[in-house]
Amino acid sequence: MEEVLVVKNIKKTFKLSKKQQKLQGSNETYKVAVNDLSFNLYKGEIYGLLGPNGAGKTTTLRIIATLIKADSGDVFVNGYDIKKEADKIRKCIGFLTSDLKLEGFFTPNYLYDFFSDLHNVDKDIARTRKERLFKKFGIDKFAEVKVENLSSGMKQKVSLVISIVHDPEIIIFDEPTNGLDVLTARLVMDFLLELKNEGKTILLSTHIFSLVERICDRVGIIINGKMVCSDKLEELIADKSLEDVFFDIYKNEMEGKDL
């Protein structure tokens, strides 16, 4: 199978300011967010990252999406080295995370065209794609409403659609169904499967076990910045539910630490 994403021993340490130390209630000046983490993605699969709050999921995804740099380790996307060819990587990934915001002053319609332009998408292709996606997510009725006036669910859908204006090969979604109602979450889930069927590779992080159970081919569990388990979904849930598997692994990990 073709490896489209290789993450090798990446490490990311954040320096904590005085204010952050106070907020976290510790005197440590550093926070190791990602610690020697490795995994890979094969073409056409959906890989789910699970982990408790603060485990380092978002940090990992931000590193892969070229927003921040790992202190050490390697990342290859479609064979491109993230240290040397970040611009090429940006062309072939679509990244969605809650701290990438859209300018509230503009309408979904304007923003879609703007990002299509930045991604150099052909005008005609962009238009048909926009129509299809807007319709699919029910954005068409709100296409001319300023983003700041949209409901948070609608904003999330617009963000999602805009993150894939360029029809990327690799899609990286950080908690894509966070804050969506059941119906919309279902819509997103079906959409992800649809993308998979088109041959896209998808990496997502989530806290929702049912989502992982339904659509993921493989699962990685991150605890304290470490990948403690990366396996095929079928094998993980052979005799227990995913939630139970997760709890067992988590308990093991924490006991190991205490001892």
Partner 1 sequence: MKNILTIMKKEFARFFKDKRMVFAVLILPGLLIFLVYSFLGTNITKQLGEDTTKTATVYLVEPVPVGIEDGLNNLPNMEIKKASENDKIDDLLDKIKNKKIDIVMQFTTASDNKPDISIYYNSSNTTSMNAYTTINAMLEAMQHVELFHVNANSNTIYDVVDQKEAFGSIFGMFLPFLIITLMFSSCMSIAPESIAGEKDRGTIATLLVTPIKRSELAIGKVLSLSVLAMLCALSSFIGTVLSLPRLINQEIVDSSMKFEFSYQLTDYLLLLLIIVSTLLVLIGLISVISSYAKSVKEATTLIAPLMILTMVIGILSMFNTNSGSKNVGLYFIPIFNSLLAMGDIFAFNIALGPMLITIFSNLVYASLIIYLVTIMFKSEKVMFGR
Question: Which amino acid is residue 54, in one-letter code?
Answer: G
User: Which of 103, 181, 190, 244 is in the footprint of partner 1 by CB under 8 A?
Assistant: 103
Q: Which two tokens stand for residue 149?
A: 């006036």
Euclidean distance between the first and the last CA atom of the chain, given in angstroms as a whole number: 40
For residue 128, the tally of other CB atoms under 10 A from its CB is: 9
Per DSSP, 142 falls in state G
Smallest separation, CB 102 to partner 1 (Å):
6
User: Which of Mg ion, partner 1, ligand ATP, none does 59 bind, CB closer than 5 to 8 A by kind?
Assistant: ligand ATP
**Nearer of residues 56 and 108 to ligand ATP, judged by Cβ:** 56
> Which of 2, 9, 68, 190 is the binder for partner 1 (CB under 8 A)?
68
**Binding residues for Mg ion (CB under 5 A):** 58
Residue 55 binding: pick among ligand ATP, partner 1, Mg ion, none (C-beta 5-8 Å cut-off by kind): ligand ATP
Applying CB under 8 A, which of residues 6, 102, 145, 249 lies at the interface with partner 1?
Answer: 102
For 209, the enclosing helix (H) or strand (E) is helix 209-215
**The residue to which tokens 């990587």 are assigned:** 89
Give the one residue of 110, 207, 249, 253 binding partner 1; rule: CB under 8 A. Answer: 110
Site for partner 1, residues 144 to 203, rule: CB under 8 A? 163
Binding site for ligand ATP (CB under 6 A): 14, 16, 20, 31, 33, 51, 53-59
Distance CA 82, CA 215 (A): 28
Q: Among 13, 52, 54, 114, indicate the residue that binds partner 1 (CB under 8 A).
A: 114
Residue from 27, 120, 128, 197 in contact with partner 1 (CB under 8 A): 120
**Could you give the C-alpha distances from 144 to 107, 108, 129, 141, 159, in angstroms and in order?**
5, 7, 17, 8, 15
Position among 2, 3, 28, 117 found at the interface with partner 1 (CB under 8 A):
117
- Contact, 161 vs 126, CB < 8 A? no
The helix/strand/coil state of 160 is helix
Distance CA 159, CA 153 (A): 10
Query: Applying CB under 8 A, which residues contact partner 1?
Result: 17, 20, 65-69, 87, 90-91, 93, 95, 99-106, 110, 114-115, 117-120, 163
